[in-house]
Amino acid sequence: MDLGLGNRVAVVVGASEGIGRAIAHGLAAEGAHVALLARGGAGLERVADEIRAAQPEAEVLAIPTDVTDPEAVDRTAAAVEAHFGRVHVLVNNAGNRMRPGRQITWSDDEWMLDVNTKLFGMLRGIRAFDSLLASDGSGRIINIAGISGHMVWETAMTHAINNSAFVQATKYLATDFAPRAITVNAVTPGLVATEWRHDWAASSGATQGKSEDEFVKDVCRQKGILLNRWAEPSEVADSVVFLASSRAAYITGTTVIVDGGLCVNPRVGVVN
């Protein structure tokens, strides 16, 4: 299937590791040029080098940017405009990792850190890139939400707020951008085997006398993930790449859930 992504320009926010890294690889593999954003320059350059090695024809720009800083996001949009002229695909993926604890007892600053990064970071990104987004039917905004916006995931209160807001803001923004034929969709990952999730599973497993693999299997069983495993980051990226493509031109305002059946929540568990 030709996805029509050749020579399109994609901005991936939060691209230095995890799901964003996989999204950047996936888009470049389909012929897109990519601008990679995150705070850490070293991580961004590492991913930029990986992509250049894998896709020599892709133009790759790495721009250290903190999405909690509105002026920094605006400066980055100006740098992307100076280099590429316009943007076809904007992926809002930056977010903080889940931190344990009874989050209702957190300070305002702790709540604000999570909401300011993910929810307001997404809004800042869209505001900054708004005028650069292609209005010829190829413009795409894709927001990476999370399963805690659809169901209760223990300790994840701020993530629940961000992710449920992402789903509703995506519908609002789809309406706002429709007159310019720019589609706006969300992708909701479930449990994803990112680098930090591997560390989490290995260390949590060790405290329970289990291997990482055994721990992950137990979590998947306890959570009722129908497919009985976590996702590879590339499996989330595949849905993002499709939504970014010409083949998804008539999809807007929706959320694609990539959770292995977690939301089905059969409660009785999986028989096999």
Ligand X SMILES: NC(=O)c1ccc[n+]([C@@H]2O[C@H](COP(=O)([O-])OP(=O)(O)OC[C@H]3O[C@@H](n4cnc5c(N)ncnc54)[C@H](OP(=O)(O)O)[C@@H]3O)[C@@H](O)[C@H]2O)c1
| Of the candidate residues 20, 205, 224, 260, the single one contacting ligand X (CB under 6 A) | 20
Strand, helix or coil for residue 58? coil
Establish if 5 lies at the interface with ligand X (CB under 6 A). Answer: no
Q: How far is the CB of 193 from ligand X (least distance, A)?
A: 8
Strand pairing report for 60-64 and 33-38: parallel
By the 8 A CB rule, do 125 and 75 touch? no
Distance CA 165, CA 29 (A): 31
**How many chain residues interact with ligand X (CB under 6 A)?**
32
Residue closer to ligand X by CB (options 138, 215) is 215
Site for ligand X, residues 136 to 155, rule: CB under 6 A: 144, 146-147
**125 sits near ligand X (criterion: CB under 6 A):** no
CA distance 68 to 113: 9
- Residue 227 sits at φ, ψ, to 5 deg, of -85, 0
Query: Which one of 39, 75, 180, 217 is in contact with ligand X (CB under 6 A)?
Result: 39
**Among the residue ranges 1-9, 11-19, 205-213, 221-229, the one whose residues contact ligand X (CB under 6 A):** 11-19
Q: Rounded to an integer, what distance in angstroms lies between the CA atom of residue 254 and that of residue 231? A: 21
Residue position matching structure tokens 């509703």: 168
Binding mask 79-108 toward ligand X (x if CB under 6 A, else -) reads --------------xxx-x-----------
> Closest approach of Cβ 268 to ligand X, in Å?
24
User: Which secondary-structure segment (H or E) carries 103?
Assistant: none
Partnered with residue 185 across adjacent β-strands are: 142
What residue type is assigned to position 129 of the chain? Answer: F
Is residue 71 a contact point for ligand X (CB under 6 A)?
A: no
Tokens matching residue 60: 């790759």
- Binder among 25, 88, 140, 197 for ligand X (CB under 6 A): 197
Q: Are 204 and 195 in contact (CB under 8 A)?
A: no
Please pick, from the candidates 8, 25, 118, 124, the single residue that binds ligand X as defined by CB under 6 A.
118
The site for ligand X (CB under 6 A) is made up of 14-20, 38-40, 43, 65-68, 93-95, 97, 117-118, 144, 146-147, 159, 189, 191-192, 194-197
